[in-house]
Amino acid sequence: MSPPRLQERARPATVEELICVPWWRLLDEPSQRQVAEHLHVAVAEPGERICRIGAPATYWFGVLDGLLKMSNDEASGGPQITFTGVPPGGWFGEGTLLKRESYRYNIQALRRSRVAGLPLPQFESLLAQSIALNRFVLNQLNERLGQFIAARETDRSSDPDFRVARNLAALFHPQLYPGVGSLLRITQQELAYLVGLSRQRVNLALQRLADAGLIRVEYGGLRVLDLPGLRGFHASA
């Protein structure tokens, strides 16, 4: 017997979880009550998919804690490509919802992750009545576009240190992932999955970034010390 799907395991969000949602404070009280009624939370286990290529988009999703990855379809016969990681505070899928499309990517949990979902009807209703939320979504789309343009430059680089630095900087994006702060809970193996390098090569790159004063490796995670420097890092630095 297969385990219940993520949606079947979902429960209403708690008050503490609602407060952690970055756009919650932008809403007026009636809109907050609407979100409190419809926002649900479920725990995704490692390897479990939240979104699957070809499935209709029916929720706006956010990460309360944990770590997800966005990737292409490895079953298509081509190489698997990880587009980005999604750490705490990240919300995704609004572009697909707005276009009423099916997902063109997979979203999968790299570790046990607590994920929130707002159904499409409530997402559209909030957009229709909240200018502040419209601005939040517009900013999300704009920042993510810039992130993916930068990712194209990163993918063309053969320098592993540069790739690790830029991928780390993307995970510390303060607008897209406000739940991260200055400390990202991530293992070197998880970072290796996101960057597409071996764990050993990622370890070497992290040592070089630490020696440059850009990050500090701490127990269970990485602390950024100089985000502009991390974004502008080059091997010759």
Parts of the chain with a pLDDT under 70: 1-3, 73-80, 154-156, 235-237
What is the structure's pLDDT at 237? 45
- Compute the half-sphere exposure of residue 146: CA atoms within 13 Å on the CB side of its CA: 11
What is the structure's pLDDT at 7? 83
CA distance 83 to 28: 34
Considering the domain delimited by 159-231, tell me its CATH architecture. Answer: Orthogonal Bundle (1.10)
Token pair, residue 230, equals 């991390």
Q: Domain coordinates of the chain in residue numbers? A: 7-147, 159-231
Local structure of 169: helix, strand or coil: helix
What is the structure's pLDDT at 137? 95
Measured CA to CA in angstroms, residue 137 lies from 24, 54, 131, 133, 164 at distances of 12, 23, 10, 6, 28
What is the structure's pLDDT at 132? 95
CA distance 7 to 41: 9
Token pair, residue 237, equals 């630095």
Tell me the fold of 7-147: Jelly Rolls (2.60.120)
What is the structure's pLDDT at 44? 96
Measured CA to CA in angstroms, residue 194 lies from 100, 110, 133, 151, 226 at distances of 28, 9, 30, 12, 21
